[in-house]
Structure 1
Amino acid sequence: MASRALFLAFSRKFRNRGFLNQSFKSTPVFNEANVSNYCSHGALRSESFDESVNYEEFNDLKSRIFQLRLPKRSAIRVLERWTSEGNQVTIAELRNISKELRKIQRYKHALEILEWMVSHNQSELSDSDFAIRIDLMTKVFGVDAAERYFEGLPIDAKTCETYTALLHSFAGSKLTDKAETLYEKMKESDIPLTALPFNEMMTLYTSIGQVEKVSSIVDDLKQRMVHPDIFTYNLWISSLAAALNIDGVKQILNEMNHNPNSNENWVRYIELVNIYVKSANLLHSESNSVVESVSGISQREWITYDLLIILYAGLGNKDKIDQIWRSLRMTKQKMTSRNYICIVSCYLMLDDLKEIGEVIDQWKQSTTTDFDISSCNRLVNAFIEAGLHEKANSFVNVLIQKNCEPTEA
């Protein structure tokens, strides 16, 4: 997840320098078959009702549900009361409420909304509804519960989208064996596949340091005649860049240029990676240091080092990130807000909150670059838009601790 999420979080800051503003969609899903088992134990069907709230004050369903501050309160009870009062509810409205609940990490209530949808609108449910339920089941009950739920789905609901949702759960929990088994099952099935499951496996191998397996996943994708997307290329390039395989990167760029699905976003991405390729000589030194000649870095080359930091963050290589950042701080070039946001984002993806605090202190103490809270706001929003709410909250907490509370966007 780290590599995909990282490029997403940076799409806003670097969209004019080649990054694609692609939504991070790992649509996970569920079915009613096994949910009832959990509900019968009170996990979802809590009989508690929030008597402290005067529901008659709220004339819309969303407001009533959002008044359920505590997870133990039941969104299903609110829905039942709403309909018992003669009010109508549409599946589109329920999907929207569930989406809003997921944004603020109220996963249990979001799952209850979808459970109610299953029991009342079975014929209208989509593959995405099932996929989202798998994701929510993982968050509320754990991966094992999501797996049992998936196994209980009817055959026609086991689509690429629902398979990918479970694969995402396995990959996110670093359950490599389970992910590989499910991946092989998907390849052997007759269901049409998209690039998403292949990207999930590439992300998993990247996150656990087995980047040498990324190319084999690309081979699988091409053998199945599935069109790679920008994220496929991003992971593939990252794996070769980590091994300093510049010729391999050039070959991928050439393939991207001839891909019939390419667009202007791809062109900007290619331009950015080309900067990395053209500056590759900076990577080759006898000591294998990423940045060896600290005094000779030009302002034009800064974007290259930002990219390197992002690539190494995607690979989870904190030592390399620390090394690059120390070296960059020793140069004579003026540090920009972009550079600070870049390193903060990378440390945030690796959950290194201590280092984030140190970078904020360095930024505030800089004599050449003023601390920019608006850049921090944009970074928070970028992580939220990518679905990384916990990381966004962690960053906000660090800013508050450093007396740099972000303002509302």
Structure 2
Amino acid sequence: MAIRSLSTNLRRSIIQRNCRVILSNQFSSSIPLTTDDDLEEIPKKDDDLKSRIFRLRFPKRSATNILEKWVAEGNKITISELRNIAKDLRKSQRYKHALEISEWMVRHQEYEVLDSDYGVRIDLMTKVFGIDAAERYFEGLPLTAKTGETYTALLHSYAGAKLTEKAERLFDRLKEADVILNAMIYNEMMTLYMSVGQLEKVSSVIEELKRRKVSPDLFTYNLWISSCAANLDIDSVKQILDEMSCDSNANDGWIIYRQLTNIYVTAGNLVNSECNSLIETEKKITQRECITYDFLILLYTGLKNKEMIDQIWKSLRMAPMKMTSRNYVCIISCYLMLNHSREAGEVFEQWKQSTTTDFDSHACTRLLNAFEGARLVEKADMLRAIMKEKSCESADESQEI
């Protein structure tokens, strides 16, 4: 009987068995282990598995030893517990310890390992041992374990390292493989092309996505719009927004993003003298890249992720580049959409005091008019109040603006 006709549990059992053999032969000796004498002293209070592992302060110390000792003491470990600990370790950039937990999961037959677990392992292999090791691991997996999850994980590694040729070859293999394609795969290729400046290739990825009838997500639209905006192709941006409005998968986040993009294109005045100078003298970030950062801020506004908006804005302000009125219009409008008027006011003040760009009262008025044109009355009132507080007249108050 072919493997594809077996039950899901039996299929996973076969994959796990084969992967354990691969791990045993290729990578078990790659992660240095330590003895119990190397482990941190564990206080009796708050003595749980996660606490013990997080007390390993140095990467050379072994999470595997902690797991083995925990079991030897008669404790049980669930796979959900392992996944949660590995997830927290990754957030803390403790990749080596997270990889050891991943190896433990795959080695022990009592755990039902999912496709996503193998994908996580490829990502961790890249971070700990490098892309070559992750590539060998992927190639050594049985055919049934080469799923959309594992393909995407390796593609993400290639994209992160800007290995365009390898990514394209893997993308071609993926399209021929018997796996389910999703938007994330196409987003990886679009991100890669954006990062290496091959904006003209983004449209071909979109064409392939549509041909395969894969549903785009919010990130897909963001990357697509960013590439058009970076080429100053505003007509295409407006066409994409029209397509978004007809997408049956649209949700509240998409609506916010679409509204903001319309406002940004209108009030930000993308096609102007500032944007025509695509590369500023002795600057590391081009105006094209700056526009892309703006659309990334719009994306996270649609996702209502203020923390990421704050981080991106902080990075932009620290970058060795000239800020433009368009950048300030973008971040102010995003804060207003999320009802963070205090932060919007702070950015407004930063703009007025900026030494890298002149304060543009015309842009403020365009933004106010854009909010009113979109019938976002509450947001317009918030902006009007900020403008009044910062002594910036609106078009209603001065004919000179």
TM-score by length of 1: 0.64
Match of 1:302 in 2: none
Residue 110 in structure 1 maps to residue 106 in structure 2 = no
Structure 2: stretches of 5+ with no match in the other structure: 1-17, 279-289, 299-315, 334-341, 360-401
Residue 62 in structure 1 maps to residue 50 in structure 2 = yes
Given the alignment, which residue of 283, 292, 310 partners 2:294?
Answer: 310
Match of 1:159 in 2: 147
In the TM superposition, residue 57 of structure 1 has moved relative to its aligned partner by 5.9
Q: d(CA) in 2 for partners of 1:60 and 1:201?
A: 41
- Count of residues paired in the alignment: 298
**Residue type at the aligned position of 2:294:** I
Q: d(CA) in 1 for partners of 2:343 and 2:21?
A: 51
Counterparts in 2 of 1:214-225, with a 5 A limit?
A: 214-225=202-213
Q: d(CA) in 1 for partners of 2:321 and 2:194?
A: 20
Q: d(CA) in 2 for partners of 1:51 and 1:187?
A: 47
Counterparts in 2 of 1:358-369, with a 5 A limit?
A: none
CA RMSD of aligned residues (A): 3.7
**Residue type at the aligned position of 1:310:** D
Residue 206 in structure 1 maps to residue 204 in structure 2 = no
Given the alignment, which residue of 262, 271, 278 partners 1:274?
Answer: 262
Structure 1: stretches of 5+ with no match in the other structure: 1-29, 291-305, 343-358, 369-409
In the TM superposition, residue 67 of structure 1 has moved relative to its aligned partner by 1.5
Counterparts in 2 of 1:25-36, with a 5 A limit?
A: 31-36=19-24
Residue 87 in structure 1 maps to residue 75 in structure 2 = yes
Q: d(CA) in 2 for partners of 1:187 and 1:152?
A: 20
In the TM superposition, residue 181 of structure 1 has moved relative to its aligned partner by 0.3
Match of 1:146 in 2: 134
Residue 189 in structure 1 maps to residue 187 in structure 2 = no
Match of 1:17 in 2: none
**Residue type at the aligned position of 2:130:** G
In the TM superposition, residue 340 of structure 1 has moved relative to its aligned partner by 7.5
Q: Rate the CA distance shift 1:31–1:146 in 2: closer, same or farther, 3 A.
A: farther
Q: Which string of whole-angstrom CA distances, capped at 9 and with x for unpartnered residues, describes residues 232-262 of structure 1?
A: 1111101111111111111111110000000
Match of 1:77 in 2: 65
User: What secondary structure does 1:272 align onto?
Assistant: helix
Match of 1:373 in 2: none
Q: Rate the CA distance shift 1:150–1:33 in 2: closer, same or farther, 3 A.
A: farther
Q: Which string of whole-angstrom CA distances, capped at 9 and with x for unpartnered residues, describes residues 290-336 of structure 1?
A: 8xxxxxxxxxxxxxxx967524999xxx9xx86651667999xx998
**Residue type at the aligned position of 2:171:** Y
Asked whether the 8 Å contact 1:135–1:169 carries over to 2, the reply is yes
Q: Rate the CA distance shift 1:274–1:326 in 2: closer, same or farther, 3 A.
A: closer
Asked whether the 8 Å contact 2:126–2:133 carries over to 1, the reply is yes
Q: d(CA) in 1 for partners of 2:86 and 2:117?
A: 10
Residue 131 in structure 1 maps to residue 119 in structure 2 = yes
Q: d(CA) in 1 for partners of 2:165 and 2:39?
A: 47
Q: d(CA) in 2 for partners of 1:32 and 1:261?
A: 40
In the TM superposition, residue 145 of structure 1 has moved relative to its aligned partner by 0.4
Q: d(CA) in 1 for partners of 2:54 and 2:258?
A: 44
Q: Which string of whole-angstrom CA distances, capped at 9 and with x for unpartnered residues, describes residues 326-362 of structure 1?
A: 667999xx998449879xxxxxxxxxxxxxxxx99x7
Counterparts in 2 of 1:327-338, with a 5 A limit?
A: 337-338=343-344
In the TM superposition, residue 102 of structure 1 has moved relative to its aligned partner by 1.1
Residue 325 in structure 1 maps to residue 309 in structure 2 = no
Asked whether the 8 Å contact 1:33–1:153 carries over to 2, the reply is no
Match of 2:253 in 1: 265
Match of 1:356 in 2: none
Q: Rate the CA distance shift 1:262–1:329 in 2: closer, same or farther, 3 A.
A: closer
In the TM superposition, residue 38 of structure 1 has moved relative to its aligned partner by 5.3
Q: d(CA) in 1 for partners of 2:124 and 2:275?
A: 47
- % same residue: 54
Asked whether the 8 Å contact 1:49–1:74 carries over to 2, the reply is no
